[in-house]
Amino acid sequence: MKVLITGAAGFIGAALAKAILARGDSVIGIDNFDDYYAPSLKRDRTAEWIAAGGERAQMLELDFADNAALTLALDGTRVDAIVHLGAQAGVRYSLENPHAYVKSNLVGHVNMLELARARRCSHMVYASSSSVYGSRETVPFSVDDRVDHPVSLYAATKKADELMSESYAHLYRLPLTGLRFFTVYGPWGRPDMMMWIFTSKILAGDPIPVFNNGRMMRDFTYIDDIVAGVVAALDHPPHDDAATKPGGSVGPHAIYNIGNNKPELLMDVIEQLEAACGQKAVLDMRPMQAGDVPRTFADIDAIANGLGYRPATGIKTGIPAFVNWYRDYTG
């Protein structure tokens, strides 16, 4: 099978590419290597999976929101399935640069839906986000919950992706699966995310920004568990059988949460980071940021029962693994 992965230089995309190649499939990666964070990190991730895949690995450097460039680059290339992970990420950055989110997350998503339709792909898996749940007070968050009140533009674009996908599943009977990721962390992570920011500042002796005065909970999910969930979803396209799928569709469209099913107190996570780093953190207590939510908590019954997903790595294992990788990578 030849799998097209967008965002293949990203955190999840690069890890997925390695997993897909390891089982003998081929990967075509797409990434524009933008400077939202250091392109050098993206190139280092890419070099790993390109080396592992040999002739079965290919990277195309382009912006999938540019439909003409996308079409030209893939002309004559077989694509059996798509995992669309590329997006403009980050809740807080969406407050500063909304147009980047419209271009990548809306225009880009339509381009990938059209590509999957034109190529008659067996399945397209796409990245949604736990941010679609907004400030829900009822936990855990279920794929059957209504998600009509996003608290950031980023969340709104991800909800829009789900709605556009539902329309394509209905109109064209295109098998689609949306995955709502919950706070992913681990080796090769993103520098704009909490785990990297806190680790770098603790090791440097700088204050770490603790929002909502530490009264936050997140369902931290280790990268290996995320990849296992994506692969399971890819291998199980939803059937076009009129049965109700997770997320409520009666078409060939399913939505799953991928989380650890165990929210962690922010202050407990900081304690684990302090232990792994071998030094105490300097805490800079701050109020809640605009667009942020106080807690996330994934109900994973649908993906556990439907696809056999079982997260295996808690923060007591995952945080030291990340910190050890970070020390090695940054020298």
Q: How far apart are alpha carbons 131 and 179 in whole angstroms?
A: 12
Q: Is 154 a catalytic residue?
A: yes
Q: Classify the phi-psi angles of 58: left when phi > 0, otherwise alpha if psi is within -120 to 50, otherwise beta.
A: beta
Q: What's CA 193's distance to the chain center, in Å?
A: 12
Q: Is the peptide bond before 140 cis (omega within 30 degrees of 0)?
A: yes
Q: How far apart are alpha carbons 177 and 185 in whole angstroms?
A: 22
Helix, strand, coil proportions of the chain in percent (round to 5)? Answer: 45, 20, 40
Q: What is the DSSP string of 105-139?
A: IIIHHHHHHHHHHHTT-SEEEEEEEGGGGTT--SS
Active-site residue identified among 154, 222, 256, 309: 154
Q: How far apart are alpha carbons 16 and 9 in whole angstroms?
A: 10
CA angle 200, 272, 212 (to 5 degrees): 75
Number of C-alpha atoms within 13 angstroms, CB side, residue 237? Answer: 18
Query: Residue 304 corresponds to which tokens in the numbers above?
Result: 């556990």
Residues designated catalytic: 154
